[in-house]
Structure 1
Amino acid sequence: MTGSLSTHDLVPSDLRREWAALGLYPDRTLFDLFREQVAAHPDRAAVICDDGTTTYAELYGAVLSFAAALHSAGVRPGDVVGSQQPNGWRSCVVDLAVAAIGAVVLPYPPGRGRRETFALLGRSGATATVTPVHWDNFDYAATLDSLRGELPALRTVFVIGGEHPGCLPADPVMDRGNRVDPAAPLPEWIVDGDPDGPVRILVSSGSEAEPKMILYSHNALAGGRGAFMSGIAGGVSPLRNLFLPPLGTSYGSLGSFITIACHGGTLILVRKFSPAAAARAVREHRPTHVFGVPAVFQLMLGSAEFADVDTDSIRAVVSGGSKIDTSTIEECIARFDCNFVNLYGSADGVNCYTDLDDPTEKVHTTVGRPDPRIARFRIVDGEGRDVPQGEEGEMICRGPLSPMCYVNAPELDARYRTQGGWVRTGDLGFVDTDGYLTVVRRMKDIIIRGGKNISPVEVELLATRHPAVRAAICLGVPDPVLGERIGLIVVPEAGSAPGLPELTTFLTGLGLEQGKLPERLVVVDDLPLGAAGKVDKPKLAQLFTDAPVPA
């Protein structure tokens, strides 16, 4: 190993082998699974994006070509390769090429700036990275170039969309016209890797000062996340998955390795989300499944661009990333005329989701029944002891999806993993008598007003029940007397938003306590999304700083 990635698996190896014996793992590398898909349907669309359609055969040729470039640049098995790109076929090429040579890919979305890039590449010991020269008015190549003196392990920077001094152009070595027979002998530097070995790092902002990085094996992705995709497929084959989150996020890890390598489906992408781009993708490419976060679906539902879009191809809308309110669920079901999947998951190795056939009430109020093929859940008290069914406690989970460890961060291993590799979610929940899991709140996601803990999620879910409120975000606003006051940001339905007195009266009528009522209100046209495709709460918090304080 030429990089500085320390790998260890917190899940016992005999348990991993037991899951393989039960058929919960394919026990194949993701590159091997991808080659099988290429051989089975070379002319099927693998990726449809703003650059056009890339077939499986074309993608395979580009993967081998870029894998050769990585090898020539000195990337070896076990090395980490960063990948910061907008959604598109090239992102899939990097994922699969890195897997082919036995290295580990570290994708993260555009929008993460110099400080976070330094943290990710530095802690992981990345030896190479791939980035656009420019994207969205930001000079990524120059930023990486400026970091080289502080990142001694980083030897090679590949750039897309042009050239930059000291960097290698990636466009010439991502050749979609290089059609290669998948049955042909492979170059000697293509690695026959260990399915239980590392292949991808998932990044999560979490509550840490720096982004958390979580290391996953081939088996954990292909088995655990692959089983999730099977569960929501509803018998549809081939899948046509419209992914609206960035592929560089944890959510986006369902793209290259799962939709393509494991399931042989078509990945439909928009380079940068907007309701108009999403509407065009649905209209032109007829997806079977649409993946997004609640804010994305709220924007789509409120958009005039979706008014006349035919959605009859859509089998399910899949929402993850944060808790979703019941009115948005109901509107999605009505507008898209399909099933709604309420997904609870995280980069740390957490997954639970509502089934396509679950009763509507359970879809509204729970995140489904845990699937042991993916992750088993326990509800525990402060001492780690299981609590009786129906009682609230911290949710911990472990299963075939479970990651290996945190990347070069033993302090995070100690904080978030328990004996035997269980993941501490940091969330409170309970399991009802039907076996459904309800997530109550994050243990740290609270506003402390005058010494009282307040759940912002509770306020948000009630506020969106107002007929004039499409979406709501509740934040703590710093206050010199109370510590924090309760701020609410709302996106109105068509027409005017309610004022603060009207909204507090409405919330009081729903039973919200006086001490939890919003004290500051800001109205916005839409919710800004951050690099990970989730609501940019720091940007929204600034609105309270900029807005005048009511008398």
Structure 2
Amino acid sequence: MAIEGFTEYAKEDREKYNRLRWWLGLTWGDLFDKATDIYPDKIGLVDGTGRWTYGQLREKVDRLAISLMKRGIKPKDWVLLQFPNWHEYIISFFAMQKIGALTLLLIPRHNQSEINHLCALTKPVAWIVPKQYGKIDYEPIIDDVLKENPQIKTIIQVRTGKKGRYPSLDELIEEAELTPENLKALEERRPDPDEVSHIMPTGGTTGLPKASVRTHNCYICNVEYHSRVWEITSNDTLMVVTPVGHSMAMHWGIGAAFLNFSKLVLLDSTQPEDICEWIQKEKVTAIPSVPALIARIINMEDIEKYDLSSLKKISVGGAPSTPELLRGAYEKLKCIVINGFGSSEGTNTATRPGDSMDIICNSVGRKACPHDIIKIIDDSGIEVPPGVEGELVSKGPGIFTGYFKSQEENKETFTVDGFFKTGDKARKDEFGNITITGRIKDIINRGGEKISALEIEHRLSAHPQIQEAAVVGMPDKILGERICAYVVLRSGEKPTFDSIIAFLKANGASVQQLPERIEFIESLPATKVGKVDKKALREDIKKRLE
């Protein structure tokens, strides 16, 4: 049965991807069961509260799945999962996948307006959510959301402590019985791999998230090929630091760990000291991360006190990485650095372990899945030659088919021949290596002159006294916009505006690339998924100019 609001893959594409096994024909539940069948006694998961073998995880997941079925969760029912980086997320996600429920992944900081917006699209019937996380009390949020979504009949709370208003996740796990009859009923709930698995919210132009909807086959295609790119194996201990409800954590981390029978570590902290401590403690070998977190680690003054020798590789993506950051990671962490580009919609590229430092620093590598088609097009939709800048577009077994219930937006998001328009400016060399040159919308329009913010950021980040930089357009009555740079300095450094401009000129910056204002700040604001929040910076500079 088709899901209303989901754009099906074209019949010929679906048949081709399955016939050639570009899609593995596995569900998330299959992937989980395979790992737990083969390695029941191996430690499969570690977080701040404990460690579990694959066999122990299997029992908890199956028990929860049976309880959810008995509480009336049906195939193709939408369920909200809102978790920090806790082990309960893994149990809940795989339980939902095994019973054929559709999961809408939320991160801890999603608020009432964002949740209500996504609920309006999906009409969920259940929600698994903490009682409290840090300073966030979820019960008022639950009350507000239930007022607008009376169809949510089941609330399950996590880490309730004492008896709460709603059933706890632990209660549901404990009450289920693994009888032959229950296990057979669970087996019969296996969904088709071509069916929808989950929705992953991603940034929207209105400020509300768009719903990137993915099938089992399509998303596991991302998982498989990216894990091959950075050579994840059963010998790896893979640590996830980014939010579990975000694409980087899901397919670079969680999916890769279970596909390859690795040990997965979930860290509920982004403090560099905690990251280093856990690398040392758990002998972590691989970390997928955003540039900001890697920058915090390599800029630690006392990094030498930690034993990071187990770390063999890091995969950096989610935001642009400067050459200085990538070289610094390679030199200080003494491991393989993979520079990648990825999206919730499925477009994925990455450098390879054997690539030169020049390729790693100046490109995001080649397409991760050899069967995806990734090309650069001009404004007319025509593919441009190597070395020519245009828009990055993609199509293939790892690429989604459109945002959920967003027919009009999808018309603008896809080319007439079905390629997803990423909104990224890029160029491709003769070997297929792609360099991201900016966002089409991250362009400063200074009196009609279109200036890439990303190029200026790269130049600023090369300054020896600058740790991080972000560039935005600031309003100007005459030119429309002028260039404003926000800069985070290295510890103890105090460069002046003039000295920074002199550095840029000396290193080849054009007149159009010189900031007209520089704001020195302690840290760059981040979005809920760890990217630089340029919307916040634009609002900040507007207020400063008032």
TM-score tier by shorter-chain length is: over 0.9
Cα separation, partners in 2 of 1:329 and 1:181, compared to 1, 3 Å: farther
Deviations along 1:137-194, one digit per CA (max 9) or x if unpaired, are 122222122121212432222211227876332232245x999799994334751211
Equivalent position to 1:136, from 128, 134, 137: 134
Normalised by the size of structure 2, how large is the TM-score? 0.93
1:449 aligns to 2:449 (yes or no): no
**Cα offset for 1:327?**
0.4
Give 1:297's aligned amino acid.
I
Partners of 2:314 and 2:245 in 1: CA distance: 20
> Superposed, which structure 2 residues align to 1:223-302 within 5 Å?
223-233=221-231, 236-254=233-251, 258-302=255-299
> Superposed, which structure 2 residues align to 1:383-422 within 5 Å?
383-419=380-416, 421-422=418-419
Give 1:171's aligned amino acid.
D
Match of 1:428 in 2: 425
1:214 aligns to 2:208 (yes or no): no
Which one is further off, 472-481 or 500-509? 472-481
8 Å CA contact retained: 2:239, 2:284 = yes
Give 1:128's aligned amino acid.
A
Match of 2:304 in 1: 307
Match of 1:348 in 2: 345
Match of 1:80 in 2: 78
8 Å CA contact retained: 1:227, 1:374 = no
Partners of 1:160 and 1:371 in 2: CA distance: 36
8 Å CA contact retained: 2:237, 2:265 = yes
Partners of 1:182 and 1:470 in 2: CA distance: 59
Structure 1 residue ranges without an equivalent (≥5):
none
Identity %: 26
8 Å CA contact retained: 1:106, 1:201 = yes
Cα separation, partners in 2 of 1:30 and 1:257, compared to 1, 3 Å: farther
Match of 1:504 in 2: 501
Match of 1:173 in 2: 172
Cα separation, partners in 2 of 1:385 and 1:328, compared to 1, 3 Å: same
Equivalent position to 1:382, from 379, 382, 388: 379
Paired residues, what number?
545
8 Å CA contact retained: 1:203, 1:213 = yes
Partners of 1:305 and 1:537 in 2: CA distance: 31
Cα separation, partners in 2 of 1:509 and 1:179, compared to 1, 3 Å: farther
Match of 2:51 in 1: 53
Cα separation, partners in 2 of 1:13 and 1:26, compared to 1, 3 Å: same
Cα separation, partners in 2 of 1:35 and 1:460, compared to 1, 3 Å: same
8 Å CA contact retained: 2:65, 2:186 = no
Equivalent position to 1:97, from 95, 98, 109: 95
Cα separation, partners in 2 of 1:55 and 1:165, compared to 1, 3 Å: closer
Give 1:6's aligned amino acid.
G
1:335 aligns to 2:303 (yes or no): no
**Cα offset for 1:539?**
4.0
Give 1:85's aligned amino acid.
F
* CA RMSD across the alignment: 2.6
Equivalent position to 1:363, from 353, 357, 360: 360
Give 2:419's aligned amino acid.
W
8 Å CA contact retained: 1:29, 1:218 = yes
**Cα offset for 1:311?**
2.1
**Cα offset for 1:498?**
1.4
Partners of 1:45 and 1:541 in 2: CA distance: 46
Deviations along 1:314-362, one digit per CA (max 9) or x if unpaired, are 2211111111100000000011111111111111221011011111111
Match of 2:199 in 1: 201
1:324 aligns to 2:349 (yes or no): no
Q: Secondary structure at the match of 1:242?
A: strand
Higher RCO (CA-CA < 8 Å; seq separation 6+): 1
Deviations along 1:471-503, one digit per CA (max 9) or x if unpaired, are 111122334444333222222223223121111
8 Å CA contact retained: 1:47, 1:267 = yes
